Amino acid sequence: MTQPDHSAAAALTTPSPSSPLTGLDAVAARKGMSPRQKTLVVRIVQYVVFVGVVLAVVFTANWHQLGQVFARSDVLRITFTSTTDVTLGTSKHVINGLLLALCNTIVYSVGAFIIGLLLGTVLALMKLSSVGPYRWVATIYVELFRGLPALVVLLIFGMLPVAFPGLQFPLDPYGTVWLALGMVYAAYMSETIRAGIQAVPKGQIEAARTLGMPAGMATRRIVLPQAFRIITPPLTNDLVSLVKDSSLVYILGLTAQGFELTKFGRNLQNANANLTPIALAGLCYLVITVPLGFLVRHMENKSATRAGAR
């Protein structure tokens, strides 16, 4: 069998077998278009189809109707200028409703994220523990809260003060939301964090222990910082997902002061019988998540620069 062999080593050691298709022969033996020409044709066809679809959408869509449904100017004005009365302690303020809802969405999500991160780290360490009961408890927790819909957990937490009179979560409704969503997301995040911890090479722990660090200190100072660097992208996914799940808070029956974006949009949608407020609220989620994505990519690039060629 004479396979065309182009490896330099082969050329050095064995007399090169004469290839059945060399130089000019290859051109002569070709039928129809060359590979390069085929690629060009395929690409042109794709562009034509793409432009066709865009033109079809532009010319067939009922732009006036779409504008009336999703971007009616008078409703836009109402949405942007609506205000909410806010009571902080004894002082009363009047705040732009959309801005307040945006802030509330951020506060709900970030608080829940922090609780999820802390609890998730504890759960991850428990799951990796050599102590059996720790592992069992962590496993049961993760299975339970990963399996329950976040909406159900929120409802239960919302009802707890009713079921147990006297029970009051701090900073209501924020405490309730932070705890409920935080506990759900801790289950997801613990699995991510566990994977990150396990991705840190064993030699790192050995080096830390060799310096005389006790196991706990080695985990805190050496393993966790590296683990969190590894899992920044999946943790960002969790945070984005949490920002969106904060919309479930509507189920708690909040006062206007606690409205987040979705609840705020829905109220104005009902009042104006128009989808413009909810469309705007939807866009506001992107105002949070898109910069977040840029921030994380920037952080990753920074640590990649540090990591040099690796």
Partner 1 sequence: MSETTAGAGPMIRVDGLHKSFGELEVLKGIDLAVDPGEVLCIIGPSGSGKSTLLRCINLLEQPTEGDVWVHGIKLTDQDVDIDRVRAHMGMVFQSFNLFPHLNATQNCMLGQTAVLGRSKAEAKRIAEHNLVKVGLFDRMDYFPAQLSGGQQQRVAIARALSMDPLLMLFDEPTSALDPELVGDVLSVMRQLADDGMTMVVVTHEMAFARDVADRVIFMDEGVIVEQGPAAQVIGAPTQERTQVFLQRVLDPTHVREIGELEPIDVAPAWTHA
Shortest CB 208 distance to partner 1, Å = 8
Tell whether residue 226 is a contact of partner 1 (CB under 8 A). Answer: yes
Residues touching partner 1: how many (CB under 8 A)? 23
Contacts with partner 1, 165-204, as mask; x by CB under 8 A: ------------------------------------x-xx
Shortest CB 310 distance to partner 1, Å = 5
- Assign 239 to helix, strand or coil: helix
Amino acid letter for position 119: L
Shortest CB 215 distance to partner 1, Å = 9
State the alpha helices, DSSP H only, in 164-275: 174-199, 202-210, 215-218, 224-230, 232-245, 261-272
- Residues 105 and 246: beta-carbon distance below 8 Å: yes
Locate 82 and state its tokens. 């609506």
Tell whether residue 300 is a contact of partner 1 (CB under 8 A). Answer: no
For 166, 204, 217, 235, the CA distances from 192, given in Å and listed in that order, are 36, 20, 21, 7
Tell whether residue 232 is a contact of partner 1 (CB under 8 A). Answer: no
Select 44 or 199, whichever has its Cβ closest to partner 1. Answer: 199
Tell whether residue 233 is a contact of partner 1 (CB under 8 A). Answer: no
CA angle 202, 203, 209 (to 5 degrees): 95
Tell whether residue 216 is a contact of partner 1 (CB under 8 A). Answer: no
Query: Dihedrals φ, ψ of 5, to 5°?
Result: -120, 115
Tell whether residue 206 is a contact of partner 1 (CB under 8 A). Answer: yes
Query: Dihedrals φ, ψ of 28, to 5°?
Result: -65, -35
Amino acid letter for position 86: V
Tell whether residue 310 is a contact of partner 1 (CB under 8 A). Answer: yes
Tell whether residue 152 is a contact of partner 1 (CB under 8 A). Answer: no
Select 231 or 249, whichever has its Cβ closest to partner 1. Answer: 231
> Rounded to an integer, what distance in angstroms lies between the CA atom of residue 258 and that of residue 84?
10
Q: What is the dihedral of CA 34, 36, 39, 40, to 10 degrees?
A: -110
Select 44 or 211, whichever has its Cβ closest to partner 1. Answer: 211
Of 96-104, 162-170, 248-256, 302-310: span binding partner 1 (CB under 8 A)? 302-310
Tell whether residue 209 is a contact of partner 1 (CB under 8 A). Answer: yes
Tell whether residue 309 is a contact of partner 1 (CB under 8 A). Answer: yes
Going through the chain in order, the beta strands assigned E by DSSP cover: 83-88, 91-96
- Residues 285 and 260: beta-carbon distance below 8 Å: no
Of 44-52, 74-82, 170-178, 219-227: span binding partner 1 (CB under 8 A)? 219-227
Shortest CB 212 distance to partner 1, Å = 3
26, 45, 159, 217: which one binds partner 1 (CB under 8 A): 217
Q: Which residues pair with 91 in a beta bridge?
A: 88
Binding positions for partner 1, rule: CB under 8 A: 201, 203-204, 206-214, 217, 221-222, 225-226, 229, 306-310
